[in-house]
C-alpha cells in the first residue's frame, strides 16, 4: 500500500516540530485513533464526556442513560438533573466543568433538541466557543436535535436545519486535529434507539466518519433485545466481493462479532477468496453475481444456511471512459454489477423470505459515484441508483424489522487507489476534513455497525465514510 508521507511525518514528533519551526506550508494530518477490537459493554469507560445544551425531557433523559451506561464520566455544563439517577445507579456521578482547569475532554455531546427559532442557534456559539478548545486530539463531537419535519413552525424548522450546516462546518474546523463531528436527529418516540448510534459515533469505530447527519427513526420494527457484546452471535452474514479489500475487512469484523460469515466472490478469485475465508473462519461461496442463474444459486445457499441475517453488497467494478469513448459493454457491465445484480439478488431474497426478521442489508455506494466524476457516468449512475433503490425498499421491509442502508466510502487506501497517479492520490487524501485517506477497516467498522441490532434506528440512509470529503453533498 502506498505510504502517506505527510501522515508519517506527522506521526514523528521531531519531524513535525521541524516542519512547524521552518514554517513549511505542509498540511500535517493527525494520525487517527482507531479500534478494531470486539464490541464491549462499556466503550466509553472512564472517558470524560462534556455535555452542553438543554438535556431536558425524554431526549435528555435518554442521552444521559446512554452515556452513563456506556461507561462515560459525564461533565455537565448545563442546568439539568437528568444525570443524577443513572449516575447514582451506575456509579458515574456527574461533575461540573472547571473553567480554570486545563483538562481535556474525550468527547462532547450537545443537546440542541429544543431549538424554537433562529435566535436559539446562539446557544451553539456560546457553548462551542467556550469549550471546543478543550477537546483532546481525535475527540468525538455529536450534536443531537430533532428532525426539521417535526417542527411546529417554519422558524423552528429553519433553526433545526441550521444544525446540518453548523456541524459540517465544525467538522472541517476540527478535522486537522483528528476530531470528528456528526449530527444526530432523533424522531420523537425513537429515543430508545439512540444507544447503538452514540456508541458508534463517540468511539474510535467512527474515526473516518465526520460531517455526517444521522436520522434515528421509528421506521423498522425494533428487536426485543439488543446485545452490546457479540451482537451478531448466532447470525449468518453474506458479504459479496469478499476476497480482498473492504469486503475481506468486513468479513473479518462480522466474524469478530460472532457471525457465521459466507464470503462470496467470482469463481476466478477462488484462490484469494479461500485464503480470506480461512483467515476469518468463514465459508467461501463462488458465484458470479451477474450470471443468469445467480438468484437461484444464492437462494439455494440461503436455504442451506437457514436464511441470511446480514447481507452486504460489496461487489462492484469500474469501467471508466468518457461517455463519447465508452463502449456499450463497458456501460452495461458497470451498471449490471453495481446496480442490476444488487436489485435482482435482493429482490429475490425479499420475495422468497430468505432474509430473516430483523435482517440488515448494507449496500456499497461511493462518494465519487454520488458526486459524479469525469469518465464515470456508468459508475455514478449505478452508485446513485442504489440510493433510490434503498429508499424505496427500506419502508417496504420495515414491518419485519429489516433495515436497508448504504455506505459511501470516500478516498480509501486500497490497491485501487495505489494505482492512481501520485499527484491525484495526494490531492484526494488532503481534500477531506481529516486531511488523509481512510483504511478498509474504517468502512468495515461502519458496515458492522449497520449490521448490528443496535442500528435499528438507521434505515433508508446513506452513511459517508469519507473523512468529511469536500466532494459531493
Query: Where in the sequence numbering do the catalytic residues fall?
Result: 379
Strand partners of residue 237: 261, 310
Rounded to 5°, the CA angle 404-467-133 comes to 120
Whether 116 contacts 155, CB under 8 Å: yes
Residue 396 belongs to what H/E stretch?
A: helix 377-397
Q: What whole-number distance in Å separates Cα of residue 330 and Cα of residue 143?
A: 43
Q: What whole-number distance in Å separates Cα of residue 391 and Cα of residue 64?
A: 31
Q: Which residues contact 53 (CB under 8 A, 6 or more apart)?
A: 78, 109, 110, 111, 112, 113, 123, 127, 144
Sheet holding 260-265, edge to edge: 283-286, 260-265, 236-240, 308-313, 355-364, 403-409, 462-465
Whether 168 contacts 141, CB under 8 Å: no
Kind of pairing between the strands at 308-313 and 283-286:
unpaired
First to last CA, the chain: 29
Q: What whole-number distance in Å separates Cα of residue 235 and Cα of residue 162?
A: 40
Sheet holding 73-76, edge to edge: 73-76, 48-53, 105-111, 135-145, 180-186, 213-216
Whether 232 contacts 259, CB under 8 Å: yes
Q: Which of 111, 273, 145 lies closest to 214, judged by CA?
A: 145
User: Could you tell me the three cell numbers for 324?
Assistant: 463519447
The three-class DSSP label of residue 380 is helix
Q: What whole-number distance in Å separates Cα of residue 240 and Cα of residue 300?
A: 16
Rounded to 5°, the CA angle 271-276-277 comes to 100
Helices (runs of H) and strands (runs of E) counted in the chain:
17, 13
The three-class DSSP label of residue 361 is strand
Q: Which of 290, 294, 298, 297 lies closest to 316, judged by CA?
A: 290
Q: Which residue has the cell 462479532?
A: 257
* Torsions phi, psi for 437 (to 5 deg): -85, 160
Rounded to 5°, the CA angle 65-443-376 comes to 135
Amino acid at each position: 500500500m502506498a505510504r502517506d508521507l505527510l501522515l508519517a511525518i506527522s506521526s514523528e514528533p521531531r519531524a513535525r516540530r521541524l516542519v512547524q519551526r521552518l514554517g513549511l506550508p505542509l498540511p500535517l494530518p493527525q494520525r487517527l485513533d482507531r479500534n478494531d477490537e470486539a464490541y464491549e459493554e462499556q466503550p466509553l469507560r472512564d472517558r470524560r464526556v462534556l455535555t452542553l445544551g438543554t438535556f431536558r425531557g425524554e431526549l435528555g433523559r435518554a442521552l444521559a442513560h446512554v452515556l452513563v451506561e456506556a461507561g462515560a464520566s459525564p461533565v455537565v455544563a448545563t442546568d439539568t438533573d437528568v444525570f443524577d439517577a443513572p449516575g447514582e445507579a451506575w456509579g458515574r456521578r456527574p461533575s461540573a466543568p472547571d473553567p480554570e482547569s486545563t483538562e481535556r475532554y474525550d468527547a462532547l455531546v450537545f443537546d440542541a433538541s429544543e431549538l424554537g427559532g433562529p435566535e436559539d442557534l446562539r446557544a451553539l456559539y456560546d457553548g462551542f466557543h467556550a469549550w471546543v478548545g478543550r477537546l483532546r486530539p481525535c475527540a468525538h463531537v455529536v450534536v443531537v436535535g430533532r428532525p426539521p419535519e417535526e417542527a411546529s413552525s417554519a422558524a423552528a424548522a429553519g433553526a433545526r436545519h441550521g444544525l446540518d450546516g453548523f456541524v459540517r462546518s465544525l467538522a472541517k474546523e476540527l478535522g486537522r486535529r483528528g476530531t470528528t463531528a456528526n449530527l444526530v436527529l432523533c424522531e420523537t418516540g425513537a429515543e430508545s434507539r439512540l444507544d447503538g448510534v452514540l456508541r458508534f459515533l463517540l468511539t474510535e469505530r467512527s474515526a473516518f466518519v465526520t460531517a455526517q447527519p444521522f436520522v434515528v427513526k421509528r421506521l423498522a420494527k425494533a428487536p426485543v433485545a439488543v446485545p452490546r457484546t457479540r451482537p451478531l452471535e448466532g447470525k449468518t452474514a453474506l458479504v459479496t466481493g469478499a476476497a480482498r479489500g473492504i469486503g475481506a475487512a468486513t468479513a473479518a469484523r462480522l466474524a469478530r462479532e460472532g457471525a457465521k460469515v459466507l464470503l462470496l466472490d467470482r469463481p476466478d478469485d477462488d484462490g484469494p477468496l479461500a485464503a480470506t475465508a480461512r483467515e476469518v473462519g468463514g465459508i467461501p461461496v463462488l458465484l458470479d453475481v451477474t450470471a443468469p442463474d445467480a438468484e437461484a444459486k444464492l437462494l439455494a445457499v440461503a436455504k442451506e444456511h437457514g436464511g441470511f441475517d446480514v447481507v452486504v453488497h460489496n461487489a462492484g467494478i469500474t469501467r471508466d471512459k468518457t461517455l463519447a469513448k465508452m463502449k456499450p459493454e463497458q456501460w452495461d457491465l458497470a451498471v449490471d454489477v453495481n446496480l442490476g445484480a444488487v436489485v435482482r439478488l435482493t429482490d429475490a431474497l425479499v420475495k422468497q423470505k430468505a432474509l430473516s426478521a430483523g435482517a440488515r442489508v448494507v449496500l456499497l455506494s461511493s462518494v465519487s459515484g454520488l458526486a459524479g466524476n469525469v469518465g464515470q457516468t456508468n459508475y455514478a449512475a449505478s452508485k446513485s441508483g442504489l440510493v433510490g433503490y434503498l429508499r424505496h425498499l427500506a419502508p417496504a421491509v420495515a414491518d419485519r424489522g429489516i433495515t436497508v442502508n448504504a455506505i459511501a466510502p470516500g478516498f480509501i487506501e486500497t490497491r485501487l487507489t495505489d494505482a492512481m497517479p501520485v499527484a491525484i492520490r495526494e490531492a484526494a487524501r488532503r481534500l477531506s476534513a481529516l486531511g488523509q485517506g481512510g483504511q478498509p477497516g474504517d468502512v468495515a467498522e461502519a458496515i458492522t455497525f449497520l449490521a448490528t441490532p443496535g442500528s435499528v434506528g438507521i434505515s433508508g440512509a446513506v452513511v459517508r465514510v469519507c473523512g468529511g470529503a469536500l466532494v459531493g453533498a
